Structure formats: structure tokens, C-alpha cells
Structure 1
Amino acid sequence: MKLSTPRWWYERHGRHGRVARTLLKPVSWIWAAATARRLARAVPVDVGVPVISIGNLTVGGSGKTPVAREVLRLLRRQGVEAHALSRGYGGRLEGPLRVDPATHDAADVGDEPLMLAGDAPAWIARDRVAGARAAVAAGARALVLDDAHQNPALTKTLSLIVVDGETREDEWPFGDGSVFPSGPMREPLAAGLDRADAVVVMLAADAPEADPELLALFAALPTFIARLQPAGPPPPGPQVGFAGIAKPWKVERALKAAGCDLVDFAPFPDHAGYSPRDLAFLADRAAVFDAGLVTTDKDWVRLPVDWRTRIASWPVVARFEDEAGFATLLAQSAR
């Protein structure tokens, strides 16, 4: 059973969830120690092509997959035969195999690899080294790893950290700094930044400038601002929205900001599979409001095929404020 992301994880001063946070602290210490030990003992493998890692320091919700898609777009625009490589989280197939959107679905390969396969050749592999070698044998001249900052299997040419740049009242991207499960961090902030080469701070299309206090944390690293922009307008008329991502409340905000007539919104856990009961619930909510249904493209690929014609997909893309500077960084790394 998948669980929804606790909102109190992202509270900077931990006023809510205090009891749960305290009880989970010992587990967090074990998690952090195990991660540090695994990273320290690893011997990364060089597969002979540039490897660009897109990762984050928190458990989901930063926008790393849109950044991976944009990195693939920019590399391929530069003439680099870049392939995506993912673990295939949420899929039943172990790989290594190349994702084929015509024959694979999210239950096979996971939702994120299926999205990446729409932009460039994409591979899944539980064994990243085996997956990388398969991609290189198939012609890849650069690899873009999705969600790989804590995976040390491959020698990385460039390690990018994607950070959710939204700060609202007491809501902070790293919460109070606690490591999972007492907070959102996969590892302590300093440890994660120490292995990074650059930071991407992700903002909503209509958000103000990034918080200077947040940017100050990354002063020692090249830092780029990217914005999640709608690829098109939301569907017209009243809509019931839903999303199964790490921070579904951000989709609700984004739809409203884009002018969607959002009459109701249903959050689901990250990577949720939509059961007949879930779909019946959503259809009922839409009927109550005489509205359509709209969701993210990441959720849309997880829907049963016969439901995709009944539900609108609202895709977003990452675009860099300093695209030229970021493209230069990629070009230098992909040589």
C-alpha cells in the first residue's frame, strides 16, 4: 500500500507531526548511516561515455523528471545521442531493456521512464551498470540518469541536484532537515551537496524569484533557476483535478494559477496505481460537479487505456532562465 506524503515533513520548525517525528528519529539515524556506508563502499564503473545524473536530496516532489527531459532535449539539440536510464520504479520488469511506449505501460516499466521514452531512447534496469552498457551498445553517446544521486554504481561526469524552490510561510523544501522517515531528506543536506556539481532550483511558472536564503545554501555550487511551465492551457470548463505525485497540492495550485476552473481536487499517493474503485470515485466526483477530469501527464500514463480518452492530460515542461549557461555546462560535460 502506498502512503501519501506527510505535509508536516516540509514544516521548517516542525510544529505538526512532532510526536511522529520524534518516534521516527532512531529509524532516520539508521537510514542515514546505511546510505552513507553504501556510498562510501561503492566502486563506480566507467562505461566509456559521459554520464549526467539528475537527482535530489528529498523523497520525491522536486521536479527531477521534467529536468531530465529538458537535459535530454538540450543534449540532443547539440547533436549528442543521449539516452535516458532509469531504475524503472513502479514497474514489474527488471531490464535492462529499452522502453517502447507502443508495447510497454507504466505497470511494466514505471511512469517516469515511459514519459522519458517520448523524448529520447529510454532504458530501465535494476542493475544500472548493465543498463548503461546495453544503452552504450545500442548507440548511446551520453547517458542521462533519472533519480540517481544516491546510486553510486556508475562514474558520473555531472551530478545535478534538483531542489523544489517553493517556500511558503513555514513550508521549506528540506523541512527541518530530518532524514526519512522523520522528514523528507534522503540523506543530510551537507552530505548530498558534497557530491553535487551543480544545483537546479525549480520554481512554478508564476512564482516570484527564488528565496535568497535558500539560494545561499548552494553558494559554493553553480546554481540554475528553472520553471515548470504548462505545455498548453488546461482544458476548458469545470474540472475535477487529481494527482498521484509526491506533492499533489502543488498540482492543485498550478492548475488554479493557469486559469483552470477547478471545482474539486483529489490527492493520491506518489506513483499511485488507479484501481477501478479510484476511477469510479473520480467519475462520481466529476458527475456531481458536471465537470471534466484532468491530471498530470505522469498520472495519465498510469491510467488504464480505456480511461485515457475520458481524462485530460495537462503536461508541464522545465525551462531554464539561463538556458544558454545551462546548455554550456551540459556541452562541457558531454564531450
Structure 2
Amino acid sequence: MRAPGFWYAPRPTLLARLLAPLGWLYAGATARRVAKSGYPARVPVICVGNLTVGGTGKTPTAIALIERLPGVHVVTRGHGGKLEGPVRVQLDHPASDVGDEPLLLAAFAPTWVAKDRAAGVRAAEEAGARVILLDDGFQNPQVTKDLSIIVVDAARGFGNGLCLPAGPLREPVAVGLKRAGVVLAIGSAAEQEHFAARFTSPLPVVRGHLEPVETGLDWHDMRVLAFAGIGHPERFFATLRGLGANVVRAEPLDDHQPLQPALLARLEAEAFALDAQLVTTEKDAARLPPSFRPRVLSLPVRLQVADWSPIDDRLRAIGAI
């Protein structure tokens, strides 16, 4: 699903105002859900979540946190996978079973897919986890969180400030932030300044940006057909252009969209006709059939944060580091 443009208008449009009463109902349902008591884990639980639908950079944030958390296990719903779990993700699991993001995270830490988050946390505890990292699930009440980090796309912020379907919010910003400990804004320096001008936070705001991993490839003037099924595909295409690639064709897909044989055959035929190399994101590459992966280059990105101290202080306070 592509986000409607009016969600991110500078101020609510007429359509957004007409839909606002439905947003109030949605917010009320969220409030009732999160008020329920969750499973109190025996180890610290950190949640990486957001207040909006769509991608904000949660997976790169989770990877960066894994590097700071000794003995961490990840628990995730496994969006797009069919396994209910809890099951520990293996690198040879197909994405259709466990989802694409868990496959990425499993390369960095033991990762559990569980539709029932509490069952996933218990499985991780029994396997010896010293810390649990919940990938997403901020509005899921099944597990008590010791610290929640709200990740926001600095360029889009919180949109028009309205809840679904009038806007992109899962719950009102002020309400959600009361359960959180830190806001992590991801974007360029200019986007960060724009976000800061629009949003005054009662919580510490940590600034970060996504940086391509140096893989040794020379992207300069490389003709590429890029495709991406992430929250904001245009960011991926802009990153490739920033590396000097000649993006002759950009194909935005829906977030987590299955890469069906017909779609891949079309993309490969178009790339051949354009004399271009197929390129996609690290997350999309996890959904490619093994036989097709050698034909596609992937560009991984990692979160860079200038000052981790506001997050580290809170991690120490709950005994996570």
C-alpha cells in the first residue's frame, strides 16, 4: 500500500478533515488496546517502534542497537511470513515463512518470529537472552516494555497529525510519546532542521542518518534499473543517484510486496532492453528466489548516530548495558 499524498500535506486537507472522525475512533481503539497489561519479562525489553504506518528506519535502528546490547535476542512479528512461531529464524529460512526483516536481523543476533510477542519473549528467555529487542510492536500490549524508542522519518515527520485513515498516525503523537523514552529522527541535516522546526518533543531527540555500506562496487555512471518494496522507495533511488549511479528506471513497489516470477521476469527483460543492472535494497533481496539473487545487486545501508548518549543513558538505567 502506498501512502496517500494528503497524509503528508502541510496541513489537513478537506478530505483529511472529513475522515478525521474515523481517525478518532481508530485512536480510541488503539488506546484501549495498549491499556492492557503485558507479559513482564525477566530481562530488559527494548522496543523499536513508530507512531506512523510505513517505513521509518526501524530495521537499521534495530541492527545498530544489536551492536550495543550484549546477549540480545530479537523478537519480531515477521511481517509477510506465514509461520506463527515462536520459531528461531535460520538464514536459510525462506522469506515467505518468516518475513524479510527477520532474515536481515538474524545475521546479527538470534531472532525469533512470533505472532504472539509474549510467547516469542518467553522462548528467547529460555534460550538465554540477556536483553530482548522488540522489532516493532509499540502499539502491541502483549509484552511490558522497559524502554521504547520512537523512530521517525525526519523528512515526513508525523504527517498531518491525524490518525488513520485521515493521516498516517496509529495514535496521537502526544499520547504515544507518554509511553516512550527517546525519539530517533532519521534523515539528512536539512531534514533534521525541518523536523525540529515543526516538532517540539518532551523527550530527548537523537539524530541519525542512513549511510550506504562500502561494498567495493563502483556505482559511478553504472546504468541501473532499481526496484524497492520498502516504506519510502524514493529514498533508495535517491541514495543510488547520490552514489553516482545512472538510474535509468526506478520501480517503486509496495512495502513487503511479494516478488512474483512474472514481476521479476518483466524487470529482467526491461533491464536487458535498457542495458542496465538490476539493483534493489538489502531487505528486498531477502525476498528474491535463491536462483534469481545472482542477477541482482543489493545496496545495504546502516544507521549512523553522532551522539548515542541519550539512548545509552536509558539503556544503562534499565540494566541493558
Give TM-score, length-normalised by structure 2: 0.93
Per-residue deviation, 1:288: 2.4
For residues 90 and 51 of structure 2, the distance between their equivalents in structure 1, rounded to whole angstroms, comes to 30
**Partner-residue secondary structure (3-state), 2:302:** strand
Return the match for 2:51 from 57, 64, 83.
57
For residues 203 and 250 of structure 1, the distance between their equivalents in structure 2, rounded to whole angstroms, comes to 10
Asked if 1:306 is matched to 2:301, the reply is no
For residues 115 and 195 of structure 2, the distance between their equivalents in structure 1, rounded to whole angstroms, comes to 38
CA contact (8 A) 2:154 2:194 kept: no
State the partner residue of 1:176: 160
State the partner residue of 2:131: 142
State the partner residue of 2:25: 30
For residues 237 and 124 of structure 2, the distance between their equivalents in structure 1, rounded to whole angstroms, comes to 37
**Partner-residue secondary structure (3-state), 1:85:** strand
CA contact (8 A) 1:199 1:218 kept: no
CA contact (8 A) 2:230 2:255 kept: yes
**Partner-residue secondary structure (3-state), 2:291:** helix
**Partner-residue secondary structure (3-state), 1:210:** helix
For residues 230 and 60 of structure 1, the distance between their equivalents in structure 2, rounded to whole angstroms, comes to 21
Return the match for 1:87 from 77, 88, 96.
77
**Partner-residue secondary structure (3-state), 1:293:** strand
For residues 60 and 108 of structure 1, the distance between their equivalents in structure 2, rounded to whole angstroms, comes to 21
Residues 11-70 of structure 1, C-alpha deviations (whole Å, 9 max, x = no match): 22245xx54x35543432322111111112x11221100000000011022101110111
- Residue segments in structure 1 that go unaligned for 5+ positions in a row: 167-171
CA contact (8 A) 1:43 1:152 kept: yes
For residues 291 and 148 of structure 1, the distance between their equivalents in structure 2, rounded to whole angstroms, comes to 39
Return the match for 2:6 from 5, 8, 11.
8
State the partner residue of 2:60: 66
Per-residue deviation, 1:229: 0.6
CA contact (8 A) 1:177 1:188 kept: yes
Asked if 1:130 is matched to 2:119, the reply is yes
Quick one: which amino acid aligns to residue 280 of structure 2?
Answer: T
State the partner residue of 2:174: 190
Quick one: which amino acid aligns to residue 226 of structure 2?
Answer: G
Return the match for 2:90 from 100, 104, 109.
100
Residues 121-176 of structure 1, C-alpha deviations (whole Å, 9 max, x = no match): 0001111111100000001010000112111221211111001112xxxxx32221
State the partner residue of 1:169: none
**Partner-residue secondary structure (3-state), 1:309:** helix
For residues 242 and 260 of structure 2, the distance between their equivalents in structure 1, rounded to whole angstroms, comes to 29
State the partner residue of 1:293: 278
Per-residue deviation, 1:74: 1.2
Per-residue deviation, 1:106: 1.1
For residues 95 and 5 of structure 1, the distance between their equivalents in structure 2, rounded to whole angstroms, comes to 30
Counting only pairs closer than 5 Å after superposition, residues 152-301 of structure 1 correspond to structure 2 as 152-166=141-155, 172-204=156-188, 207-208=189-190, 210-211=192-193, 214=196, 217-232=199-214, 236=219, 237-301=222-286
State the partner residue of 1:120: 109
Per-residue deviation, 1:305: 1.0
Query: Is 210-219 or 176-185 further displaced after alignment?
Result: 210-219
Give TM-score, length-normalised by structure 1: 0.89
Quick one: which amino acid aligns to residue 302 of structure 2?
Answer: V
**Partner-residue secondary structure (3-state), 1:155:** coil
**Partner-residue secondary structure (3-state), 2:248:** strand
For residues 41 and 194 of structure 2, the distance between their equivalents in structure 1, rounded to whole angstroms, comes to 39
For residues 204 and 111 of structure 2, the distance between their equivalents in structure 1, rounded to whole angstroms, comes to 28
1:213–1:319 distance in 2 versus 1, CA, 3 Å = closer
CA contact (8 A) 1:263 1:289 kept: yes
CA contact (8 A) 1:235 1:294 kept: no
Residues 268-305 of structure 1, C-alpha deviations (whole Å, 9 max, x = no match): 00110011221122112212210001111011101111
CA RMSD of aligned residues (A): 1.9
1:128–1:213 distance in 2 versus 1, CA, 3 Å = closer
Quick one: which amino acid aligns to residue 244 of structure 2?
Answer: G
CA contact (8 A) 1:129 1:154 kept: yes
**Partner-residue secondary structure (3-state), 2:295:** coil
**Partner-residue secondary structure (3-state), 1:251:** helix
1:208–1:217 distance in 2 versus 1, CA, 3 Å = closer
Asked if 1:151 is matched to 2:140, the reply is yes
1:178–1:29 distance in 2 versus 1, CA, 3 Å = same
Per-residue deviation, 1:324: 4.8
